[in-house]
A = this chain, B = another copy of it.
Amino acid sequence: MSERLSIDPAHLTEASGALLEHLRATSPLVHCITNSVVTNFTANALLALGAAPAMVDIVGEAGLFAGAANGMLVNLGTPNPEQRDAAREAAPAAHGAGTPWVLDPVAVGALPIRTALARELLEFRPTAIRGNASEVLALAGAGAGGRGVDASDETDAAGAAAARLADGFGSTVAVSGPVDLVTDGVRCVRIANGDALLTRVTGGGCALGAVTAAFLAAARATDAGLDDLGATAAATLVYTVAAELAAAGADGPGSFAVAFLDALASVDANDLAARARVEVGTLAVQAAGATGAAR
């Protein structure tokens, strides 16, 4: 714990912009095993951002690819039997090869097969776990789960559950909500950017899991000064600021989704500097009140 990098909002915001540039320059290959509803949007979000997506979700290929990719996502939204076995192949392969990987436990708690699978995959120590409050609570063993992909628990209530997961599996945990929370069990980043329209587009959360894998990959290939917590927070910051840019000119969820892909391609360090609403602290300090805030 004592070796964790200290972090402050201004530094995080600046380093996020640098990491975004590095990501675009190197185009990390992001392996996705994700649900059938959002494959297209997820691939387009990665392409817009500057990463290279590859959806490889069959047995006999997923493990090979997880070892070769720069980052990986396992999203449990529609886990048919082939995908489940592909995930069982890919997670240990990523873990063994040191490929950073993200687990998105969609609807865990509400539905039994994915809940069991998510617990099984935790053993391969996902670099990051991204979900809404219900899912994080359910994955940590508390809460009854949501009614699908909606969040019915408050983000804050999930802080303790997130810390438990982080401690137990060495993961960074990102809890999506009106204010996003990212923690490694000790340090905690809150990001108040974003727009409600992101919840009116399917894959608004799921694609962030893939983007997080891209940022984790980029951070490991540079010296931008962001560890896994920082890279996960950077992904959330870039993603939610892009959502704000997109919402500004949108007439509804359809035009928002289009503008969001455009914004992922154009968002830059200046946008982050102008818009970031980031707080940094420890979970204990957070519980007691705010700490530093950039804007």
Interface residues of A (CB under 8 A from B): 29, 35-41, 43-44, 47-48, 52-58, 60-61, 64-65, 68, 77-82, 107, 111-114, 147-150, 199-203, 251-255, 257-266
Tell me the smallest distance from the CB of A41 to a CB of chain B, in Å. 6
A260-B254 contact given A55-B77, A60-B113, A61-B114, CB 8 Å threshold: yes
* Contacting pair A58 B44 (CB below 8 A): no
- Using CB atoms, name the residue of chain B closest to A148: B54
How many whole Å from A222's CB to the nearest CB in chain B? 19
B252 near A263 with CB under 8 A, answer yes
Given contacts A55-B35, A112-B60, contact A254 B254 (CB under 8 A): no
- How far in angstroms is the closest Cβ of chain B from A263? 7
Residue contact B39 to A43, C-beta cutoff 8 Å: no
Q: Given the complex, which residues of B lie within 8 Å of A61, measured CB to CB?
A: 111-114
Asked if A262 and B266 make an inter-chain contact with CB atoms under 8 angstroms apart, the answer reads no
Contact B150 A53 (CB under 8 A): no
Count the copies.
3
Residues of B within 8 A of A111 (CB): 56, 61, 64-65
What 13 new A-B contacts, CB under 8 Å, besides A52-B150, A56-B78, A64-B111? A35-B55, A44-B201, A47-B200, A48-B200, A53-B148, A55-B77, A57-B78, A58-B78, A252-B262, A253-B265, A254-B257, A255-B261, A258-B258
Q: Pull 8 A–B residue pairs with CB atoms less than 8 Å apart, ordered by A.
A: A36-B39, A37-B43, A40-B40, A54-B149, A60-B112, A64-B112, A252-B265, A254-B257
Question: Do the beta carbons of A251 and B255 come within 8 Å of each other?
Answer: no
Q: Which residues of B contact A55 (CB under 8 A)?
A: 35-37, 77-78
**How far in angstroms is the closest Cβ of chain B from A201?**
6
Using Cβ atoms and an 8 Å threshold, which residues of chain B touch A264? Answer: 252
Enumerate the 9 nearest inter-chain pairs by beta-carbon distance, A residue then B residue, closest first: A254-B261, A252-B262, A54-B148, A43-B202, A254-B258, A252-B265, A254-B262, A37-B39, A61-B111
Question: In chain B, what residue has the closest Cβ to A58?
Answer: B80
Our pick among B36, B52, B257 for the contact of A36 (Cβ within 8 Å) is B36
| Chain B positions within 8 Å of A257 at CB level | 44, 254, 258, 261
The docked-state distance in angstroms from the alpha carbon of A47 to that of B266 is 26
> What's the least CB distance linking A8 to chain B, in Å?
32
Distance in Å from the Cβ of A170 to the closest Cβ of chain B?
28
CB neighbours (8 Å) of A81 from chain B are 58, 82
Measured between alpha carbons, how far is A251 from B263 in the docked complex, in Å?
A: 9
Q: Which residue of B lies closest to A261 (CB)?
A: B254
Residues of B within 8 A of A251 (CB): 259, 262, 266
Nearest to A27 among chain B residues (CB) is B150
